[in-house]
Copies of this chain bind each other. A is one copy, B any other.
């Protein structure tokens, strides 16, 4: 948060694990803790880049997803599945995006249970601008070496598949 620590706290945790006789799981513990911390750092960068647009990452992801849909609209349950978040999280995001005039809710033409989320012209424009900034300020300066990016994609892809995210 503020000043860098003199020592890596995760490496220290690993040492503690080993000292307590849990050597067998010390490495995965360290890897998992590092993933948690890395996510926190990246999320902060992303939120910082999106703040000028009045967007959060959750809302941006929904906008981006809609912008790639051919019709610019998706059922809420589909958005929930693709974003891999709980349906109530989508409800929450749509509420706020709708208040901001970036999306609309419309009834599904044939299924009365389903609600479609539709991108407004303003929403489409904002998604484009926000993506440009994210690309240049965050993704373009991730701090990962090129080959490490490939490694991450491979390792985490395998993990996600095994965790049941997709069957691909």
Which A residues are within 8 Å of any B CB, using their own CB? 1-2, 4-11, 13, 16, 22, 24-25, 27-32, 34-43, 46, 64, 68, 80-86, 131, 135, 138-140, 142-146, 148-153, 155-168
Contact = CB atoms under 8 A, between A and B. Distances in A.
A35 B5 contact: no
A128 to B, nearest CB: 9
A38 B143 contact: no
B28 A82 contact: no
Contacts of A160: 8, 10, 34, 37-38, 41
Given A85-B1, A163-B41, A163-B143, A149 B8 contact: no
Query: Which 6 A-B residue pairs are closest in the complex by CB-CB distance?
Result: A39-B39, A25-B139, A34-B156, A28-B142, A31-B152, A5-B166
A142 B37 CA distance: 17
